[in-house]
Amino acid sequence: MNRIALSLLAFAMCFCTGHVVAGELDPQQHAWHAKYKGQDNAPFPEEMLLNTDSEPDLSEGFTSLFNGKDLSGWTAKGGSCTFEVKDGILVGKVVPGSNSTYLSTERDDFDDFIFTCDMKWEESCNSGVMFRAQSKPGKNGTETVFGPQAEMEGFTQDRHWSGGIYGQSCGGYFYPLWLKEHKEARAATKEDIWNRVTISAQGNVVKTWINGVPAAHWIDDGSYPKGFFGLQVHKGAKGTVLWKNIRVKELKKEPAAIPNARASKRPNVLFILADDLGWSDTTLFGTTKLYQTPNIERLAKRGMTFTRAYSSSPLCSPTRASVLTGLSPARHGITSPTCHLPKVVLEPKVSETGPPNKFSTVPESVTRLNTKYYTLAEMFRDNGYATGHFGKWHLGPEPYSPLEHGFDVDVPHHPGPGPAGSYVAPWKFKDFDHDPMIPDEHLEDRMAKEAVRFLEQHTNEPFFLNYWMFSVHAPFDAKKELIEEYRDRVDPKDLQRCPTYAAMIESMDDAIGTLLDTLDRLGLADETIIVFASDNGGNMYNEVDGTTATSNAPLRGGKATMYEGGVRGPAIVVQPGVVESGSRSDAIIQSIDFYPTLLEMLSIDAQPNQRFDGVSIVPALQGKPLQRDAIFTYFPHDPPVPNWMPPSVSVHQGDWKLIRIFHGGPNGSHRYKLFNLKNDLGERTNLAAKHPDRVQQMDKLIEQHLVETKAVRPLVNKNFDPAKYNPAAEGKGNLKRSGNKPKKGKQRVQRKPVAGWLPGGTCDLSVANSVLRVSSTGGDPHLSFSLPEVVKASTMTFTVQMQSNSSGSGQVFWKEVGLPYDADRSQVFDVTHDGNVHTYSIQLSPQGPVQGVRIDPSNGAGQIEIRQMRLLDGNGVPIHEWNFADAGR
């Protein structure tokens, strides 16, 4: 905002609220006014506001930000000036040649507050206290700190503007002390003694005092609503600054009223986290014909459904750690689901090298949720809540189990990634202490029963029930009667056609219904906040009943991928009397948001120096816009599933999504995929080449996130051998056999040609109604054709007209004389699996004479109908054409 707009804003504020408008410029300040009046932020003297308030009471309600012993909770940003602790005093010293340096609080979400500290100089230099500050990547790997700063000038300066407000790296002085009325403030700072600086920030009104003397009265335009505190050592030749008594009093906002709540206690919280439940796996969005989720719909009618809810990772353990800490996987370091393995890793580790066919390395993930974090459960416990964890954990066994992270109860105290044995009894769990195991009892029925007991025991005290379901993670089994019921409902043309998975979803939904029924029966529903979410997208790499477990269509990809199908899922938040029943929001939210959101909903303060990468989504729950710039997904791994991607990181900003593939470009540079999700929800068209400016702008956000979170990143692989790298293999993963074989309709693979095409892998062929039908029972359907004559090497185009309800990408191979079919002689193409007819054109670049072609129409189970195929030369002249009008006669 320019200075004219700022002046108009200030004038309007003073007119409406009775603020005192300033007088005239001090004649002794004319030279300084002439020097600084041209700055972007510089106000008109006649429209400045005066601080006429007494200094706030500094005696009660303050928290110390400095322990007097070390720099815990602080980190230096921007330069290399030094900070140390001597005799309980914080000492900052200029390093010649260094940029200005800011000792900054690690917590970066201070909004409304009163801040105070004492400071003096051993050796004069410029200094100050930044507040609501932010940072971004600077030049040459540095970090730029920007935002408002209460100036504290040493005695070599003759402006005497200590207490004025400067816009550090954002346009110069917001509030210079150049008026006649500022004379006392300019004289307030004393040499060789401790000087007290006090800052009050409430909403957009900021005021300062120096040794109790009023100084600045500035109206922020809304650009700096929250941030960190930073103690500045300004660049220069010399200087030493001392600080002590660094304290803050956070000013509470009025809590939202919660009607019908029992006056004696805070609201209860029920957090339901489904496992591997995809965006299309419920009836919330009209994306399924097979699955039945009436209780999830029932939950949605009680609160707000989010259509753009994202997990923090496409895999489970990273997201679970983010829910409990409010931190990004890039910061807490758990980036893969390896927390059940014996090796204990508490800090992520850089990998210097990798296999020769991979251009980037994969960092080693943390394998335990470190007890240094103040978890969501510990917060509830410390505020008088009974805390219980029921279900999956997968963040480490003892001494990293739920019992070490704030939970009073942990059932069934199981550290593994899925159920112990199966979903249907007998199980292999050790810690079901109450009722004996019932033959054929379903695990979700039992878990709901255990949770009901917890609810019944805590009707008169607030509780936090962390209900993390095992469903619908592997192993894939369910109640036999439900499987058979869904087997009769399956449409073989539907993308979702796995009866076992459908039965698993119904049992999951039934358990949610049991919890809702219990809250109603106990009279707790009106005083219980409910959060429902999933830890990642739906599983599309396990083969179950001869097909993928589920389909995330219209989204691309699934669990363990960076496409929308891997990270977008269902989410619902219920707060009776506050959140509108049956409402919907298209605000972008993420797993890291739930912790700060619950704090605000319950009017509970965060710990001093506690930080969050997430934001409170309370504004969205109130039907207001959610002010956030972007969300990030950090996944530096490359599991070989369909639609897999090399180690990468993504950013969502509005309708746009950018994926950075680490070192996937020429000479170790990064490679990018850019999608407009509003126009291309299925992420089929990479717009990176078309919008380079947007790529650059969004990649800066990615870099800032990685720097700010201190992410351990993939490196350029020193062992990389381009000759062993196959770009066509990217995204081509095979289905994992689950052991669930289809009970009906499994086709035998025929090895006789059909219409000249030889089936291979997991498919058979037939011709009917002028189409070539490809019936795939697994992850490797392919068919090949030997050309009647050898064709000389030249650029060719292969076109295919087909419809599919399978999954994954397609691939066309060409067979050169004397060589086998090989991925080096192939081209991958994206396939739309929506049951409609589409035409695809694939460019081929053979280096030698061609004697055959092969097409892999998908890499999943399902039905594909091919209507026509053509092989064209570089001029578009047909070399060979296939249609099937007469082939079946």
User: Which residues partner with 207 through β-bridges?
Assistant: 200, 217
Instruction: Give the long-range contacts of residues 836-841, CB within 8 A, separation 24 or more.
Output: 836/803, 837/801, 837/802, 837/803, 837/867, 838/801, 838/802, 838/803, 839/799, 839/800, 839/801, 840/799, 840/800, 840/801, 840/802, 840/810, 841/797, 841/798, 841/799
Overall average pLDDT of the 870-876 stretch: 92
Q: Are strands 463-468 and 386-391 parallel, antiparallel or unpaired?
A: parallel
Contact 796, 814 (CB under 8 A): yes
pLDDT band (50, 70, 90) for residue 15: very low
b vs e for 641-661, b when ≥16 Cβ sit within 10 Å of the residue's Cβ?
bbbbbbbbbbbbbeebbbbbb
How far is the C-alpha of 631 from the C-alpha of 617, rounded, in Å? 13
Residue 737: the pLDDT is 55
The confidence score (pLDDT) of residue 781 equals 85
**Mean local confidence (pLDDT), 336-342:** 91
- List the one residue out of 649, 763, 696 whose CA is nearest residue 318: 649
Band of the pLDDT at 358, cuts 50, 70, 90? very high
CA distance linking residue 654 with residue 674, whole number of Å: 13
Output the pLDDT for position 250: 93
Work out the average pLDDT over 454-481.
Answer: 95
Mean pLDDT computed over 609-619: 96
Any residues with CB less than 8 A from the CB of 783 and at least 6 apart, and which? Answer: 757, 758, 759, 760, 763, 765, 774, 854, 855, 857
For the cut 60, the answer to whether the pLDDT of residue 20 exceeds it is no
Contact status, residue 349 vs residue 370, Cβ threshold 8 Å: no
Mean pLDDT of 149-167: 85
Residue 94 contacts residue 237 (beta carbons within 8 Å): yes
* pLDDT tens string 127-137: 999 999 998 87
The overall longest dimension of the chain from CA atoms, in Å, is: 103
| All domains of the chain in start order, with CATH | 3-250 (2.60.120.560), 268-329+370-629 (3.40.720.10), 747-883 (2.60.120.260)
| pLDDT over 90, % of the chain | 70
- AA identity, residue 401: S
Residue 567 confidence (pLDDT) above 90 = yes
Question: Is residue 180 a contact partner of residue 154, using CB atoms and an 8 Å limit?
Answer: no
Give the distance from CA 85 to its chain's centroid. Answer: 37
With left for phi above 0 and alpha for psi between -120 and 50, is residue 212 left, alpha or beta? Answer: left
Q: What's the pLDDT band for 464 if we cut at 50, 70, 90?
A: very high
Specify the pLDDT at position 889. 42
Residue 599: phi and psi, rounded to 5, are -60, -45
pLDDT on residue 261: 35
**What beta strand segments (E) does 211-274 contain?**
213-219, 228-233, 240-250, 268-274
3-state secondary structure of 445: helix
Residue 885 has pLDDT above 80, yes or no: no
pLDDT of residue 157: 64
In this prediction, residue 860 carries a pLDDT of 72
- CA–CA gap between residue 435 and residue 450 (Å, rounded): 9
Sequence-distant (≥ 6) Cβ neighbours of residue 754 within 8 angstroms: 765, 766, 767, 772, 887
Q: What digits encode the pLDDT tens for the residues 228-261?
A: 999 999 998 899 999 999 999 999 653 433 333 3
pLDDT digits (tens, 9 = 90+) for 289-298: 999 999 999 9
| pLDDT mean over 23-39 | 83
For residue 109, the model assigns a pLDDT of 92
More confident residue, 427 or 682: 682
Q: Is residue 557 within 8 Å of residue 657, measured between CB atoms?
A: no
pLDDT reported for residue 8: 39
CA-CA-CA-CA torsion for 214, 217, 222, 225, nearest 10 degrees?
A: 0
Question: pLDDT class for 264, splitting at 50, 70, 90?
Answer: very low
Question: Does the pLDDT of residue 779 top 70, yes or no?
Answer: no
For residue 597, pLDDT over 60 is answered with yes
pLDDT at 863: 87
Q: What is the pTM of this model?
A: 0.61
The Cβ of residue 573 has, within 10 Å, a number of other Cβ atoms equal to: 29
Q: Are strands 862-872 and 850-856 parallel, antiparallel or unpaired?
A: unpaired
**What is the distance between the alpha carbons of residues 776 and 862, in angstroms, rounded to a whole number?**
5
Question: Rounded mean pLDDT of 880-886?
Answer: 85
Q: What is the pLDDT of residues 814-850, one digit of tens each?
A: 998 888 887 778 888 888 888 889 999 999 989 899 9
Is the pLDDT reported for residue 222 higher than 80? no
Closest listed residue to residue 289, CA positions, set 553, 480, 478 = 553
Confidence class for position 14, pLDDT limits 50, 70, 90: very low
Q: Is residue 858 over pLDDT 70? A: yes
Measured CA to CA, the distance from residue 827 to residue 70 in angstroms comes to: 58
> Which class for 372: exposed (0-12), middle (13-18), buried (19 or more C-beta within 10 A)?
exposed
Q: What average pLDDT does range 102-111 have in this prediction?
A: 95
Separation of alpha carbons 130 and 518, rounded Å: 51
Q: In this predicted structure, which of 136-150, 173-187, 529-543, 648-662 has the lowest mean pLDDT?
A: 136-150
φ, ψ (nearest 5 deg) of residue 613: -85, -20
Query: What are the beta bridge partners of residue 195?
Result: 119
Round the average pLDDT of the chain to a whole number and report it: 89
Q: What is the pLDDT of residue 230?
A: 97
Q: Which two tokens stand for residue 318?
A: 């990273």
Is residue 159 over pLDDT 90?
Answer: no
Tokens of residue 743, six digits: 């009970």
* Model pLDDT, residue 246: 97
Give kind and range of the element (H or E) at residue 77.
strand 74-77
Q: Of 311, 276, 612, 295, whose CA–CA distance to 417 is shortest?
A: 276
User: Can you tell me the distance from the alpha carbon of 373 to that of 332, in angstroms, rounded to the nearest whole number?
Assistant: 9
Stated as kind and residue range, the H or E segment containing 837 is: none
Q: List phi, psi (to 5°) of 525.
A: -60, -40
Out of 23-32, 406-415, 503-512, 638-647, least confident range: 23-32
DSSP code for 802: E
pLDDT of residue 191: 85
CB 114 within 8 A of CB 232: no
Convert the pLDDT of each residue in 367-396 to its tens digit. Answer: 999 999 999 999 999 999 999 999 999 999
Q: What is the dihedral of CA 750, 753, 757, 763, to 10 degrees?
A: 0
